[in-house]
Chain A
Amino acid sequence: MRRKGDTVFFDEPVWVESCAAVGGKKEGEGPLGARFDETGPDNRFGQKTWEKAEKRMIELTCTHALSKADVLPTAVSCALGGDLLNQCISSAFAIRGLGVPYLGLYGACSTMAEGLLLGAALIAGGFANRTLCLASSHFCSAERQYRYPLEYGGQRPPCAQWTATACGAVLLRREKAKVAVTAATPGRIYDPGVTDSANMGAAMAQSAYETLRIYFRDSSTAPADYDLILTGDLASVGHGLVRQLFAADGTPLGENYQDCGMLLYGPEQDVHAGASGCGCSAAVLCGSVLPDLAAGRLKTVLFCGTGALMSPTSANQGESIPGICHLVRLEGGK
């Protein structure tokens, strides 16, 4: 393990043992629906409350990830995960049943990248042999906490995003496998002064740009060196802004720059600017990117989880929205 600038390079890589993604009904109907391990026929997952539904979705995802790797929960050194709910209840309640050591994380929608970064660091540092990294969000539980009841009649502005009902889980281990975590950059917090909580993409775009810039500096690489540079949930507005920020530096990003928020739903699914939520980047990573890396369809990927570190309280108090972005470098076909 070696550190340069803000970036940690895992000279002895940490390996992805298995991954799993579970989504809700709308996610199942989207372009990545067929690639999920399971999608719910509705968003309830057989439960009476939305919070329990989210917890059940996380349990299902963990079960898929563990059974794909053919390991028991007792073989997991530590689970690292979080969600969007107050006190991260859905993750904690889901892990309660697994009985593994648990470190709860809150990185807003950047939680999947934060979990991978920490999970890999624990293994590389010798503190764990196998970590379970997960992140989840549920449209219905998030909506009632952050915005309005589902039954409330209102219109969303075109820059608004749709919180994904989805969960992704990754098992990391020390022994060699097909996909490696080879570097990670923990993000700094940037606040460009956006106060409109319906425009998260604009609030987070600067963080994505700065973290990527720091990583390119630390690694002495350029955007063109990667098959895929994938931000978490900037959606169409934020994705366009990151392109503009790089173009202003004279290093425009190519077609290899994409955003999970624009991949999860199709244009006919009426989600305005795109998807958001921890589950968005987690499910795109575990449903599509990691399997593509394992199959050799992708070689090097920069996975950049983006988060907006605000709450309804801070928004009501007129605070602007701080953004964060954690970067994880994934390499396949080694």
Chain B
Amino acid sequence: MKFNRKEYQALYQKASPSSPSLRNVPAAFVTGGVICALGQALKTVFLAAGLEDQAAGTAVSCALIFLGVALTAARLFEKLAKWAGAGTLVPITGFANAIAAPAMEFKTEGFVLGTCVKMFSIAGPVLTFGISASVIYGVLFWLLGGAA
């Protein structure tokens, strides 16, 4: 080959089409916005049903997680996400899908060694960082006298 690695890199990057951002970004914006609006509507319903503000927020998360898992189980989430991209990935629906998808996929290897072992294979880092951050936050909160 007449090209060195750097020249070849320039060659193949030019030959490789880039992601269609003009289509992907608005699709993500609209879907993400719709999911957030749905969350807000659910919160209004839960508040009207008599839940406290914080409890209503938790109920909204639970409802959206349920929705994400249900759509994953119905094999609809992957079709929606293919169109929506970050629009379904960034909200909590993406987290729900990331756990439900491997749980479903690996059930052929058994409930324990398949589903239970593999279900955190994608979402594991989110949990690790999420739990670590909350522990650090809790310690700081306690040190700064917040617990009193």
What is the interface of chain A, defined by CB distance below 8 A to chain B?
A: 48-50, 144, 148-155, 157-159, 190, 192-194, 199, 202, 205-206, 209-210, 237, 240-241, 244-245, 248-249
Contact = CB atoms under 8 A, between A and B. Distances in A.
A158 B19 contact: yes
A155 B17 contact: no
A49 B1 contact: no
A151 B18 contact: no
A209 B106 CA distance: 39
Contacts of B64: none
Contacts, number: 98
Interface string B66-79: 00000010010110
A210 B11 contact: no
Nearest to B105: A149
Contacts of A237: 12, 15-17
B12 A194 contact: yes
Interface of B: 1-3, 5, 8-9, 11-12, 15-20, 24, 72, 75, 77-78, 80-82, 84-85, 88-89, 94, 97-98, 100-102, 104-106, 108, 122
Contacts of B105: 144, 149-152
B108 A206 contact: no
B78 A157 contact: no
B47 to A, nearest CB: 30
B106 A248 contact: no
B15 A240 contact: yes
A249 to B, nearest CB: 7
A154 B89 contact: yes
B18 to A, nearest CB: 7
A157 B15 CA distance: 13
Given A151-B75, A151-B105, A241 B15 contact: yes
B1 A206 contact: yes
Interface residue SS majority, chain A? loop
B12 A144 contact: no
Contacts of B11: 241, 244
Given A144-B105, A155-B24, A192-B8, A150 B78 contact: yes
A155 B16 contact: no
Given A148-B101, A151-B78, A209 B12 contact: no
A144 B101 CA distance: 11
Contact of A144 (B80, B85, B106): B106
B12 A249 contact: no
B2 A152 contact: no
Contact of A151 (B9, B84, B89, B101): B101
Contact of B82 (A149, A153, A206, A245): A153
Given A193-B5, A202-B12, A149 B101 contact: yes
Given A149-B101, A248-B3, A249-B2, A155 B106 contact: no
